Homo-oligomer: A and B are copies of this chain.
């Protein structure tokens, strides 16, 4: 069997773990990594790094591009690679904008006969699939998704982008029934005003609905543990029967999990017909390596 050739776009937190997940997939080959600073200070001697300005075909044939870029740059990168007929996977995480991204990329993907799997991570991502499943199992009721305790990469990036912030880490604390507290630890730039920074963070869409505490610290990097968690609870009704109770819980390394799910979705791209999809639109067995019948035998 020919191996799927995968390029990792971006070499931040998720990009680093994406390289590891591709290297550990026996049905894939790492074509290389595309990043802003190209081959400078190549951190992995056996991996080809190229600059973003170089054409991706410098890496040879590429079947799938894993877009390990901040959410707000996903549309641009996805458009670029899909137009070249390369499948893309991203972990776009602004829940309210997923449908727009999907519609937008769907047309481009169909035109180039490529497949995009969007919002592929743990939430949005496998949590979305579990929410869908639980609703099909017990349609009337409420699902609460409780996150943390753990660092939110998306929220940390946003906090870090504010004027006066040198470094920041946003910790998500679950308060039950889907309510969260955000603990944002900031390393301020010299002369920056904590109150101004707090206001800037508080007014961002990422933070405006939650209880927020902004705490100045001397060194954010000393706090940055990558462990995270989810505790999803649904109490609901199947037919006329109440009190069906479901819990889904995970304690995980956040970027490692996101990257692995993206790699599993890269595999699904090669099986799904052209277009842009969220994970709840994909047959779950497409995410797995190996023979379909053997996977059914083992897992069903």
Contacts and interface: CB of A to CB of B under 8 A. Distances in A.
Copies of the polypeptide in the assembly:
2
Given A135-B288, A139-B289, A279-B300, 19 more contacts: A17-B238, A18-B239, A20-B239, A99-B293, A99-B297, A102-B296, A122-B137, A128-B299, A128-B300, A131-B299, A239-B256, A239-B263, A244-B256, A247-B250, A280-B284, A280-B296, A281-B283, A281-B296, A282-B283
18 contacts: A124-B300, A126-B133, A126-B136, A128-B300, A129-B284, A130-B248, A132-B287, A133-B284, A136-B261, A238-B257, A239-B259, A239-B263, A243-B253, A244-B250, A244-B253, A280-B300, A281-B292, A283-B283
Given A132-B288, A280-B300, A297-B99, A238 B253 contact: yes
A239 B296 contact: no
A219 to B, nearest CB: 24
Nearest to A230: B246
Interface string A228-239: 000000000011
A114 interface: no
A250 B245 contact: yes
A241 B280 contact: no
List the 8 closest A-B pairs by CB distance, nearest first: A136-B287, A238-B260, A21-B239, A241-B256, A20-B239, A136-B264, A20-B240, A128-B300
A251 interface: yes
A100 B105 CA distance: 39
A211 interface: no
Given A124-B300, A238-B253, A132 B278 contact: no
Nearest to A281: B283
A217 to B, nearest CB: 26
Instruction: Say what secondary structure dominates the interface of chain A.
Output: helix
A240 B260 CA distance: 10
B253 A241 contact: yes
A279 B293 CA distance: 13
Nearest to A294: B99
A72 interface: no
A208 interface: no
Interface in A2-24: 17-18, 20-21, 23-24
B257 A299 contact: no
A50 interface: no
A132 B247 CA distance: 17
A252 interface: yes
A95 interface: yes
Interface string A127-147: 011111101111110000000
A61 interface: no
A89 interface: no
A98 interface: yes
A272 to B, nearest CB: 9
